Amino acid sequence: MTTQSNVPRWAGLLCAALTLGVLAPARAPAAAANWRIDPTRTQIAFAIDAVGYPRTRGQFRQFTGRISLDFARPEKSAVSFHVQSQSVDAGSTSFDDYLRSDAFLNSSRFPSIDFVSSSVAKVDDHTVRVTGELTFLGVTHPLTVDVAVKRESGGRVAFSAKTDINRLEYGMNAGFPLVSRDVELVISSAAIEL
């Protein structure tokens, strides 16, 4: 049986769009345990620049996610994250409708933005590197994100990640080059063991 002194202080993962990572709890489970993303503690935010305009910021309000953690063998851990593109919120109903249109998110044709991990690796006691595939606008590309991890009371694990997505790689060309190629994605979340 594994004792607490032999347990890594991390575990975890991501997601969005997309995903994500985690710190080990006080006791390590014998095998992979399933965790659920807590929607009340999760924010999937984005920011993009455009010439002559202030930085546009917003977030996605609807998403689901699951994490499978194996604290003894982190490479057996996995994460999946699914964001509903029509849930975009940039603070203006008319602008939100424009973002949902086929010029940007094309929510009627592509209702989900998905991340599914393919590997998880420990970077240090507070960071993991999650690699997987991001599917956006029907196009899939590999994505690797470093995720900061923190233990919390109540059996929760908090994590945060920040990365840039090249929207042109996914066929989102509207407004380029006046609208930036890169979209900054910031995810903060907590997971609850099932």
- What's the pLDDT at 31? 66
Question: Sorting pLDDT into bands at 50, 70 and 90, what band is 18?
Answer: very low
Find, among 127, 164, 139, the residue nearest to 20 by Cα: 127
What's residue 70's pLDDT? 74
Q: What percent of the chain has pLDDT over 70?
A: 83
First to last CA, the chain: 22
Determine phi and psi for 182, rounding to 5 degrees: -95, 135
pLDDT at 25: 34
**148-182 pLDDT per residue, tens:** 988 788 888 888 999 999 999 999 999 999 999 99
pLDDT at 58 (0 to 100): 98
Beta bridge partners of 145: 130
pLDDT at position 49 over 70: yes
Q: Provide the pLDDT for residue 71.
A: 67
When computed from its CA atoms, the radius of gyration of the chain, rounded to whole angstroms, is 17
The domain segmentation of the chain, as residue ranges, is: 4-193
Does the structure show a pLDDT above 60 at 17?
no
Nearest to 19 by CA among 68, 70, 80, 61: 80
Query: What is 4-193's CATH superfamily?
Result: Lipid/polyisoprenoid-binding, YceI-like (2.40.128.110)
Write down the pLDDT at residue 22: 33
Q: Are strands 182-193 and 33-37 parallel, antiparallel or unpaired?
A: antiparallel
Question: Average pLDDT for residues 12-40, to the nearest whole number?
Answer: 51
pTM: 0.80
